[in-house]
Amino acid sequence: MPSAGEATKSVAPATAGQGIVLPPNATRLAQTAQLNALLTIIRSSATSRSDFIFYADRIIRMVVEEGLNYLPTLEKTVQTSTGGAYDGLKFEGRICGVSILRAGEAMESGLRECCRSVRIGKILIQRDEETAKPKLFYAKLPQDVAKRWVLLLDPMLATGGSVLQAIEVLISHGVEASRILFLNLVASPEGLANVYARYPEVRVISAWVDEGLDERNYIVPGLGDFGDRYFC
C-alpha cells in the first residue's frame, strides 16, 4: 500500500525559514500572515488562558485539516441534487486519534470537529528521573488500531523523545509506520531530524518550525509549557 502522502499528492521539499530544510517526511502549514498572527498571540506570555485556548484551538483545527490531506483516497461518483453525476473522492480506510498525555488531549476536540465519532486512544509517557529518558506509563488504544490510520497528537516537538516512544508503542500494537501521521503545532529542527532518522515513513505535520533547542532542550522561541497554559 502506498504511503499516506503518496496516496494523495506529491509533496515538494519545504524550507522552514532561516535556511532550515525540512526532512522529506515533514510538512508544515503555509506560512501565512494569519497563522503567524495566531502563533504570535499564543506565544505571548501576556495572553490570558481563555485567549490561549481559543487561538490554539484555531491552529489545531488547521493542522488537523492539513493532516487529513495525507489520508489515502479512492474515486467515487455521486448523484447531485440536480440529477447530475459528480466524480469525486472518498477516504479509504478508517482512522483513529492517539493523544500523548497530557498536552495532546488539547488536540482531541479539533480532531472530533473534523471527524465525527472518531475513536481516540491515549498514551502517557513521562521522563524517568533516574535515566532522564522517556518512559511509558500508560497506553489505551482501540482494539483494532492495527487496521487504522493513526493521527498521533502532541502540540510540541522538542527532542522527539516522547513521540518516538509513542511510535514504538503503536508499532508494537501492529500499526505500520507508514500509517502514522504525527500532528503538532510547533516543532524544532532537531526533533524533526530525530523522528526522520528513526522512522522516515512517519509523516509529520507541523504548524510552524522554530529556530532550535536551548541548553535545556526547550524550543526557542517556543511558547512555554503548552499543557500548563491550556489546562491550568
Active site residue 57: no
- For residue 48, CA distances in Å to 88, 102, 223, 225 come to 43, 20, 13, 14
Task: Pick the catalytic residue from 77, 80, 82, 131.
Answer: 131
Distance, in Å, from the CA atom of 232 to the CA atom of 230, rounded to the nearest integer, reads 6
CA distance from start to end of the chain: 43
**For the residues of 139-199, what is the DSSP string, one character each?**
EE--TTGGGEEEEEE-SEESSSHHHHHHHHHHHHTT--GGGEEEEEEEE-HHHHHHHHHH-
Select which of 51, 128, 144, 225 is catalytic: 225
Annotation marks residue 128 as catalytic: no
Residue identified by cell 488531549 is: 105
Catalytic residue status for 225: yes
Q: Is 61 in the active site?
A: no
Which of 51, 127, 128, 214 does the annotation list as catalytic? 127
Tell me the catalytic residues. 127, 131, 225, 228
